Amino acid sequence: MKKSEEIKKSIADILELPQDIILDLPKITMVGNLQIYVENHKGILEYSTTRVRIYTKNGVLRIIGKNLILKNIVVEEIVIVGEITHIEFMD
Amino acid sequence: MLILRLWNYLRGYVIIRVEGLYLEKFINHCIEKGIYLWDIKRVNYTTLEACIGIKGFKDLRRISRKAGCRVYLSKKNGYPFWAHKIKKRKMLLIGAFFSILLLIIASSFIYDVEVIGNQQLAEEPVINYLREIGLKPGANRYRIDLRQLENELMIEFNELAWVGIEIKGIYAKVEVVEKVAPPTKIDKNTPADVVASKQGVIEQVIAKNGDAVVQKGDIVSEGDLLITGIVSREQMKNPLYVHAYGEVFAKTYYESNKSISLVEIKKQRTGEVYNRRRIKLGKLELAIGGNEIPYSDYEVEKSNKTITLWRNIKLPVEIILDTYYEAVEIEEKIELQQAKEIIHQEAIGELMEEIPLEGEIVDTKITFIEEGSTLKGTFIIEVIEDIAKQKQIITGED
């Protein structure tokens, strides 16, 4: 992590500000294994019915599952619906 | 989300097919340009299906060139397309509009006026009077002031104690309650006779005033003179007119004939079920899917669903579900004793309503006759009651 990032993180800690805003990190919300919301993404890298890869600030988010559909896609948010089995961050 | 879907429908959207190798690139470009895509589905490696708004679709050309994809329009959806289609078929729209208009207009007229609850009063004068004051077949139901009509009807007909007019769909139901008139009282000084109020065999005559003309054992019919108010003695030249009164007890007979079939037909369900739905809008009932009922014998069960908005506020929309159960008729024999009891109770109940409270029941005669598969019963109740009724003497003098 860079120096500026560290300062930002410590400021966020002290002031108890939400880290996803200060650090520009993705906020991921899941509803069981049916739905996944990814806020603050940086674009889509790959999309197929079994695998979705999304660019984020701290790497590529990989979602693996079955019958994946991009329910909704806008600048701030992606909603993926389907049967989700794996989620991981890759560099 | 329903609201979102409805919004999209109203705005209009198209389903597109995108073909190309860099489909992700296409999606990213769309996001960048602020074009809203939804329900993106990968069909195969090179094909993608997505929904897009009409406005977005127009901007798509440049993006597809940039991303090296081809965009095909696969389906148009939503209100704008529908409106466009309907624009070419104006007559259809006009027809729909007029048929709805016709329905509304036709249901705003009264088709039939019905009077219920009248016993003494004939229906005809009431209906005729109602016609005069505005309630008649063909009248507009929204122009009629029901409360006003009720009042007018009450004023016109003295016999009525209460009038309620209700409009049920296209029928006007006039419910009336008649006054129970008190018995006419004859002044003590006016000469009067005592006559029989019903048929019977005289049991006892107590003439408190006037001369008895019947004695025990006489058979009298309705209207026969029992105690006369015209008293004449040998010494008198002119007969004396008196106000005759007294009590005349007589045996009266109440008869009832009943019959019952000894074979009862019962319906048994076979297990086959057929459902039919009806929708009820306010007072209007519409059948949904009006197929014929596939059974010749059936039993019907009804259940309705209403949409409750909040607490007791209900939408005037109701869904009625008719469930038809196929049934088979089964003949079942009834025990003779049981059949006798059934008609006995029926007849007694009926007769008891006729017999006045003061009457004293002396005897009950019951005879049963079995004729084939029907049982006939005759029930006679003997009652001793007062049959005296005063009747004014119309004399030529006054």
The pair of three-digit structure tokens given for residue B201, joined into one six-digit string = 């065999």
Tell which B residues from 29 to 68 touch A, by Cβ distance under 8 Å.
30-32, 34, 36-42, 45, 48, 50
How far apart are the C-alpha atoms of B298 and B277, rounded to whole Å? 16
Inform me whether the pLDDT recorded for B130 exceeds 60: yes
What ipTM, to 2 d.p.? 0.81
Task: List the beta bridge partners of residue B71.
Answer: B18
List pLDDT tens digits, range B101-114: 999 888 888 888 88
Residues of B in contact with A71 (CB under 8 A): 38-40
| Mean pLDDT across B329-341 | 81
| CATH number, domain containing residue B20 | 3.30.70.260
Domain boundary residue among B178, B207, B227?
B178
pLDDT of residue B310: 66
Phi-psi region of B143 (alpha: psi -120 to 50; beta: other; left: phi over 0): alpha
Cβ contact A47–B23 (<8 Å):
yes
The distance of A62 to chain B (nearest Cα, Å) reads 14
Inform me whether the pLDDT recorded for B225 exceeds 90: no
Q: Could you tell me if residue B100 is inside a domain?
A: no
pLDDT of residue B199: 86
Question: Could you tell me the pLDDT band of residue B77, with boundaries at 50, 70 and 90?
Answer: confident
Which residues are CB-contacts of B374 (< 8 A; sequence separation ≥ 6)? Answer: B259, B260, B261, B262
Pair B315, B341 in one domain: no
Inform me whether the pLDDT recorded for A30 exceeds 90: yes
Question: Could you tell me the pLDDT band of residue A82, with boundaries at 50, 70 and 90?
Answer: very high
pTM of the model: 0.45
Cβ contact B24–A46 (<8 Å):
yes
| Mean pLDDT across B357-382 | 83
pLDDT of residue B398: 45
Q: Could you tell me if residue B8 is inside a domain?
A: no
List pLDDT tens digits, range A31-67: 999 999 999 888 899 999 999 999 998 889 999 999 9
Residues of B in contact with A72 (CB under 8 A): 38
Cβ contact A69–B39 (<8 Å):
yes
By residue range, what is the domain housing residue B18?
Answer: 13-83
Cβ contact A44–B41 (<8 Å):
no
User: What is the overall mean pLDDT for chain B?
Assistant: 83
Q: Could you tell me if residue B1 is inside a domain?
A: no
The pair of three-digit structure tokens given for residue B187, joined into one six-digit string = 């002044």
pLDDT of residue B312: 64
Domain boundary residue among B327, B342, B375?
B327
Question: Could you tell me which chain A residue has the CA closest to the CA of B39?
Answer: A71
B165 within 8 A of B150, measured Cβ to Cβ: yes
User: B115-119, B133-137, B182-186, B328-332: lowest mean pLDDT where?
Assistant: B182-186
Q: Could you tell me if residue B213 is inside a domain?
A: yes
Cβ contact A48–B42 (<8 Å):
yes
Cβ contact B42–A74 (<8 Å):
no
| Domains: count for chain B | 5
Q: Can you tell me which residue has the tokens 């078929």?
A: B89
Q: Could you tell me if residue B44 is inside a domain?
A: yes
Q: Of the candidates B382, B387, B362, which has an alpha carbon nearest to the alpha carbon of residue B253?
A: B382
Pair B75, B121 in one domain: no
Question: Could you tell me the pLDDT band of residue A79, with boundaries at 50, 70 and 90?
Answer: very high
Residues of A in contact with B50 (CB under 8 A): 70
pLDDT of residue B183: 66
CATH of domain A24-90: 2.60.40.2000
The distance of B83 to chain A (nearest Cα, Å) reads 27
How far apart are the C-alpha atoms of B22 and B350, rounded to whole Å? 91
Give the residue with greater pLDDT, B310 vs A70: A70
Size of interface A-B (CB pairs under 8 A): 45
Question: Could you tell me the pLDDT band of residue B1, with boundaries at 50, 70 and 90?
Answer: confident
Inform me whether the pLDDT recorded for B395 exceeds 70: no
pLDDT of residue B96: 92
Maximum CA extent, chain B: 140
Inform me whether the pLDDT recorded for B146 exceeds 50: yes
| Mean pLDDT across B7-11 | 88
Phi and psi angles of residue B10, each rounded to the nearest 5 degrees, phi first? -65, -40
User: A75-79, A81-85, B346-350: lowest mean pLDDT where?
Assistant: B346-350
Residues of A in contact with B34 (CB under 8 A): 75
The distance of B63 to chain A (nearest Cα, Å) reads 16
**Domain range list for chain A:** 24-90
Q: Of the candidates B255, B260, B300, which has an alpha carbon nearest to the alpha carbon of residue B276?
A: B300
| Mean pLDDT across B310-320 | 71
The distance of B42 to chain A (nearest Cα, Å) reads 6
Q: Could you tell me if residue B183 is inside a domain?
A: no
Pair B276, B316 in one domain: yes
List pLDDT tens digits, range B241-297: 888 888 888 888 888 888 888 787 777 888 788 887 788 777 777 777 666 777 777
Phi and psi angles of residue B114, each rounded to the nearest 5 degrees, phi first? -125, 135
